[in-house]
Amino acid sequence: MPAETSHHTKTSWSLVLPVKVLSRAKTRMAAAAGPLREALALAVAADTVAAALRCALVAEVIVVTDDPLAASELSALGARTVPDEPDRGLNPALAYGASVARRARPDVGVGAMSADLPALRPAELGRVLTAAAAFPESFVPDAAGVGTTLYAARPGVPFSPAFGPDSRARHAAQGARELALEDIASVRRDVDTPDDLRAALALGAGPRTTALAARLPSLSPGAETSTG
């Protein structure tokens, strides 16, 4: 793709991450996490944000959340937090965050990324964002191959996230390029269930998630696998 070289080498990115109100987050982890469910949700988001901010291609992380504790904790890490002003669901929240990002940095790309990637590695995210610069719109499928963990739009390209059920197919149908890269497992490993969390821990989750998971008996070595 020689024609795309200038984009490929120069684009930096603002990333928009949605974080639910913690009382409603990670409900599929309720049996495994019990009273620590909200703390686990925040730990996962914090490790995701911290890793994203360490990626050299990330100019800014914008967190869209209406949860005051999450806003405080993630702001302290260096993210910019904004309320879910539209309050009309996930994709409108991401579009709002992207509009904030583009007002602040109109010359950088904008990506929407899951906030539950606790094993995220900055170098792997960098590979994804470098590849994304070669296409107007692109996306990364999740580890299950059905959903999406990251959607990206280059500077000046309309930002049209299509997260939700079967989002891999929906993003592809609207013309976004699937980034089929090797060695980006940490970018694809989102966490919704106990098994997802076990997989993220096996990859090497961030410190807050690892410490919190160690307090959950159901996730200790040898514990019976749960499908959530």
pLDDT in tens, the chain (228 residues): 333 333 445 689 999 999 999 999 999 999 999 999 999 999 999 999 999 999 999 999 999 999 999 999 999 999 999 999 888 999 999 999 999 999 999 999 999 999 999 999 999 999 999 999 999 999 999 999 999 999 999 999 999 999 999 999 999 999 999 999 999 999 999 999 999 999 999 999 999 999 999 999 887 655 544 333
- Identify the pLDDT of residue 122: 98
DSSP string across 34-87: GGGHHHHHHHHHHHHHHHHHTSTTEEEEEEEE--HHHHHHHHHHT-EEE--SS-
Cβ contacts of 79 within 8 Å, gap of 6 or more: 17, 49, 53, 61, 62, 63
Kindly list the domain boundaries of the chain, sorted by start residue.
2-216
Question: For the chain, what is the radius of gyration of the CA atoms?
Answer: 17
The answer on whether 167 is annotated among ligand-binding residues is yes
Q: Is 72 annotated for ligand binding?
A: no
Q: Please name which of 187, 98, 205 lies closest in space to residue 140, comparing C-alpha atoms.
A: 187
Question: Cβ atoms within 10 A of the Cβ of 56, count?
Answer: 11
Token pair of 101 as six digits: 């990002």
Residue-level pLDDT at 225 = 43
The whole-number pLDDT of residue 185 equals 98
209 assigned ligand-binding residue:
no
Domain covering 2-216 in this structure, CATH number: 3.90.550.10
179: nearest Cα among 105, 111, 102, 104 = 111
